[in-house]
Amino acid sequence: MFKKILVANRGEIAVRIIRACKEWGIGTVAVHSDVDADSMHVRLADESVCIGSHQPQNSYLNISALISAADVTGAEAIHPGYGFLSENAKFADIVTKHGIKFIGPSSDLIKKMGDKIEARKIAKEHGLPIIEGSNESVSSVEDAKKISNKIGFPVLIKAAGGGGGKGMKVVNKPNELEKLFPLARLEAKKYFNNDNVYIEKYFKNPRHIEVQILSGKNRTIHLNERDCSVQRNHQKLIEETPSPVIDDKIRSNLLEQTVKMVEGIGYEGAGTVEYIYQDGKFYFLEMNTRVQVEHPVTEVATGIDIVKEQIWIANKGDTALSQEDIKPRGHVIECRINAEDPSKNFQPSPGIINVCHQPSGFRTRIDGAIFQGCKITPYYDSLICKLICQGRNRTEAIQRMLRALDEFVIEGITTTINLHKKILKHEKFISSDFDVNWLAKESFY
């Protein structure tokens, strides 16, 4: 096993990785910006290195600084976590060329699956249903009109190199393309340094369902699906497993086809294949070649430590697990707690947490990096922790989550805790009668 791993990230995912390393008996190196010197991930790691100023491009996105930190500390491997450089093929390639193990798939696969157009082609080649749309990047309004007229409005313009709703535009009518097509390309260039866009049929009321996989040289297995349909501006707020809207026949087909595709591309590590689901049919959306924010939902349901398995596969090449080892239990829900004010259009709420009481109890888990006196800065993502609860069934999971949210006390900053309470008590959530656009239609404040 590795003797030392550098964690190329911050916040709750860095803490999560450090904990997994400690359980393997692996030494850890935390990297941090100047404003993160007193953060929990720095305190928990065996060693720490300051890699730059608070601007991400000067620290957590600074490839040369990360490689230097690994060299100085003698780290044998780098775990990228999620976000930042986790799906950067160039970073993975440089890490490997420096004789350091990148904990994730090959740079070639990261590049292929990170390009949404290429990923669509690969998914189709391996038998997955894809959303009707363009097979190549679209470079002119005229071509966009031809494709859109062929598949029918509404359509979705999407950035080939991105995600998270950036460079994404819904077009309801032909005359809207004149304005929205160049705007989508500008956004794509700004956020991903790649102005290639493509066009897909737009689904008005879909669910967002994803399949967690673990894959080694020897085999690929799935850890069932997650339903991530409670979203705001394409950002997930609540995830659960199993999905309450698909039956066993659809689930079996979905899981089987996903494993076949992932195995077919020779994938190694943990990954997630995401789908749009509507009217009893699912369609390939994208593949994330990293650990997901919402991985604890699956861990609690299956009893499998996904991060430890990532490290094992990176070290050994094979997965030690078989499909028979995966036996999900009950129903699990996760709420992402953000330092935001929902009553002010989700305005970020940085500051010092002067009171922090985190919930505990039966089948209740917290993944976070917060503590009393810690400072939430305005420079990074507003996610501060995740609350995960398990029940024998969905009703009990909801009840347990509401109990845990009631126990959660954070003062000094504004959070989304009360919003989660409102969502979980809403009749549409309770009956699972919602889609990815639900929150935009409801007024919670």
Residues recognised as catalytic: 290
Cβ atoms of 227 and 244 within 8 Å: the answer is yes
DSSP type of residue 108: H
Phi first, then psi, for residue 43 (nearest 5°) are -65, -35
* Spacing of C-alpha 436 from chain mean position: 16
Residue with tokens 């935390």: 30
The encoded tokens of residue 113 equal 């699956």
Q: What sign for the dihedral angle of Cα 110, 115, 118, 123?
A: positive
Strands 364-368 and 383-391: antiparallel
Cβ atoms of 166 and 193 within 8 Å: the answer is no
User: Burial of 361 by CB count in 10 Å (0-12 exposed, 13-18 middle, 19+ buried)?
Assistant: exposed
Q: What sign for the dihedral angle of Cα 44, 49, 54, 57?
A: negative
Cβ atoms of 386 and 408 within 8 Å: the answer is no
Cβ atoms of 317 and 215 within 8 Å: the answer is no
DSSP type of residue 203: P
Residue 65 carries which side chain, given as an amino acid letter? A
Q: Is 266 left (phi over 0), alpha (psi -120 to 50) or beta?
A: left
**Which parts of 194-268 are beta strand (E)?**
197-201, 207-215, 220-232, 235-241
**Paired strand residues for 214:** 221, 270
For 263-297, letters b (16+ CB in 10 Å) and e give eebebbbbbbbbbbbeeeebbbbbbbbbbbbbbbb
Cβ atoms of 304 and 329 within 8 Å: the answer is no
* Spacing of C-alpha 31 from chain mean position: 21
Spell out the residues 6+ positions from residue 191 whose beta carbon is closer than 8 angstroms to its own. Answer: 159, 162, 166, 167
Spell out the residues 6+ positions from residue 55 whose beta carbon is closer than 8 angstroms to its own. Answer: 33, 379
